[in-house]
Structure 1
């Protein structure tokens, strides 16, 4: 009997061990499934990028407040978060909106309001205490990764703040005038200052600077597990430096590199994507009636021949520079805002959403002082959600290294109606938009039955001679039924 009991216990224990092993195996499989895949061209091709302005995102202006909202960014199709600079800001020559330095303001309370430019960095591997702690930053990155979203940091390699440690320890890293004084950045076209007086210009003739800058960049990938960089005024830094930095950092893991530049030479070995500045300015001009649909068509033909097939650009209706210095989307685009936004998602490239755009922000955010974006979901959240879903799911909007085909569709009113198709594998979408503030009648070289994606309605285009009427700024994204 005793032997029977012992045997029964042994069987029971063995079964328990098997169950535990099985549960551990399932747990490990779940953990394995949650590991974020290395960033790659296939993922980037159907991504939306979100520019996060941590200071202005919430009343608190902290990492933690932004982190709370990361899961819902997936609703907008976001797969990459670009964090504006998160580093400590120089206290020397900290600039205010009116151009004065904070130290020139006598009123202590007013002086405290001057937070300075994110781009006047005093420590490349530090965290701005205004936003929280390093642990808070790590939580943000982990939360993004847990939601299958990558994180890239804004990198400012062209200049530092005036109290960066290199000012004293490595003055040879900086550009100097004839008197041997460190100077702020100079516009190479004019030989005059850009007016960025709150920063000191770095001199890349010194190869010691290259070594230190690469080391600072590598820290964030190797130690903090970020996924790449958006590089400020990338064209003002030698391309050879960027190429050397990317080559070194990719020894750690794959990264994504975004250049604030349209310079095609940067795409050879350094950068994956650049800014579509010219395209953006054309959209602004069309909204103001200064250009038309044909100008946009001509521009897309130009970039098709200027860039290589695997080069791609970031499309946008706003970003931190445009919002603060040129005006809100409403100021610049008015009633054309929705069709222009739809174009940024459907044209070749990757669409950008800037903090507040998803909440219909109608103001310019203060740049050097505290401000806050709205958080009420109105018109644009559902629009961006639908566009983001289409970008994520439909191969016809593939926009990176192996882009979907882009083909202009002829219509009878090329100056106001912009029409094209995108196609890859079995997926195809058609865009038709009235890029004017007046109603437009036209026929189009298209026939068949289609789904109006944004309205989920059937649209019947019976034949090529059918006259179609579009209201001002009306557009359709059509999917073959």
Structure 2
């Protein structure tokens, strides 16, 4: 790992920042998040410092079962995982399926468990086990479409979008008017009030009968806003501490308090571009400012990978190369909830097949120390809380290397975290002047004490990072 070990070249240590509120060209700092961020009924207190881990049951073990996955729970708990997001566990449609096993997202029954994974009783027991270990469970929900052999296809065709001839159709991209190509699923019609009520009842089943802690809602932006306005209060009645994650970048989802969190796609894509030398780290400021202007509540999910990115866009190593660890430090310390995907802690450098059985090649757990260290810091230092629970991100500008060094701090009360990232493939040397940050810090990865003083010079090797806390 690239950490403070790379600072052995330092001639003298710098204070990590600039005078609070200074706006001159030399070593200024700037608050990058809105001061008027509002509380949200969608953000339960238990998630204030939580992280999230996506579970791909099919690919997790050779058996691909709930029982086999359960053997990994002690390891995940030890690593510091808080929320387990299960990709859909429902039976998969046989009709028009892709590949030999089909997509998790072609659901044939919303209130059953895929028999290839196990039984409903086994899933209920797994939920109880996870919660008994102090972790939470959210279930991947697929509200936009069903598989073609869902009972509603024949019993309630009016629940579906139909063409001029009355034929049920697959989902359409509203921007182009053309099909997405999701031919294995049938598009649901939210203009039908009975469909809306049926969908809410199916979600309530998992809250009331199984006891899950919330939902990750697939393509939530393709479902009308007024459905979430109708559904979420009902769900919240069943579980006042429900956690809702939207697969979207749609401000009303959070601003209207329907969802606690949605996807930090724009920052994710920017991290890929910076790693590939196509964008400057300064562009991070532009993204943060844009999002701060659009969102008044909740927080983003920050990620290096997930099931879609891994299978369709490439592995972390393919997209980020030597920048991967620095990008992990960014994603896990910037405001928002960090996500890990199945196999990420093992340095998964393999694109998992989406419609076939394709077991994760674990090959040890070489990235576990990196992620455990970051998760432990998030748990222990309140500055890294999610949304209002944490400290706002305050930029630290480095004049000599502003196109390469991205630095910031987050402070909450007397506690703070200071981050320096060399987001370039060249070594960087820079000087910082800020008496406000003078003092002793813990170097998180080296577990050593660092004394910061003013007017001192630092060096960072390519794609290296320095993570300090008080």
Do residues 144 (structure 1) and 144 (structure 2) align? no
Do residues 253 (structure 1) and 239 (structure 2) align? yes
RMSD over aligned CA atoms reads 1.3
Do residues 75 (structure 1) and 82 (structure 2) align? no
Which position in structure 1 is the counterpart of 2:295? 307
Q: CA deviation at 1:253?
A: 1.6
Do residues 213 (structure 1) and 216 (structure 2) align? no
**In structure 2, the residue corresponding to 1:188 is in which secondary structure?**
coil
Mapping 1:269-288, distance limit 5 Å:
269-288=257-276
Q: CA deviation at 1:458?
A: 2.8
Which of 290, 295, 298 matches 2:283?
295
Which position in structure 1 is the counterpart of 2:407? 419
Report runs of 4+ in structure 1 exceeding 4 Å deviation: none
CA contact (8 A) 1:75 1:388 kept: no
Mapping 1:22-37, distance limit 5 Å:
none
Which position in structure 2 is the counterpart of 1:384? 371
Which position in structure 2 is the counterpart of 1:244? 230
Which position in structure 2 is the counterpart of 1:104? none
Please give the alpha-carbon distance, in whole angstroms, between the structure 2 residues aligned to 1:452 and 1:382: 15
Provide the aligned length of Structure 1 versus Structure 2.
423
Which position in structure 2 is the counterpart of 1:375? 362
Which position in structure 2 is the counterpart of 1:470? 460
Do residues 233 (structure 1) and 233 (structure 2) align? no
**In structure 2, the residue corresponding to 1:216 is in which secondary structure?**
helix
Which of 180, 197, 215 matches 2:183?
197
Q: In structure 2, do the counterparts of structure 1 residues 358 and 394 end up closer, same or farther at CA, with 3 Å as the change threshold?
A: same
Please give the alpha-carbon distance, in whole angstroms, between the structure 2 residues aligned to 1:386 and 1:226: 28
Please give the alpha-carbon distance, in whole angstroms, between the structure 2 residues aligned to 1:423 and 1:305: 21
CA contact (8 A) 1:117 1:367 kept: yes
Q: CA deviation at 1:295?
A: 0.6
Mapping 1:82-101, distance limit 5 Å:
82-96=85-99
Q: CA deviation at 1:138?
A: 1.2
Please give the alpha-carbon distance, in whole angstroms, between the structure 2 residues aligned to 1:40 and 1:244: 18
Which of 364, 388, 396 matches 2:351?
364
Do residues 164 (structure 1) and 167 (structure 2) align? no
Which position in structure 2 is the counterpart of 1:429? 417
Q: TM-score, normalised by structure 1?
A: 0.86
Structure exhibiting the larger radius of gyration computed from Cα positions: 1
Q: CA deviation at 1:224?
A: 0.3
**In structure 2, the residue corresponding to 1:261 is in which secondary structure?**
coil
Q: CA deviation at 1:401?
A: 4.1
Higher percent of residues as helix = 1
Please give the alpha-carbon distance, in whole angstroms, between the structure 1 residues aligned to 2:156 and 2:441: 64
Stretches of structure 2 that go unaligned for 5 or more consecutive residues are 1-41
Please give the alpha-carbon distance, in whole angstroms, between the structure 2 residues aligned to 1:349 and 1:195: 32
- Structure with the bigger RCO (C-alpha within 8 Å, sep 6+) is 2
Stretches of structure 1 that go unaligned for 5 or more consecutive residues are 1-38, 97-113
Which of 316, 324, 340 matches 1:353?
340
Q: Deviations over 1:184-221 (max 9, x none)?
A: 00000000010000000001011110000000000000
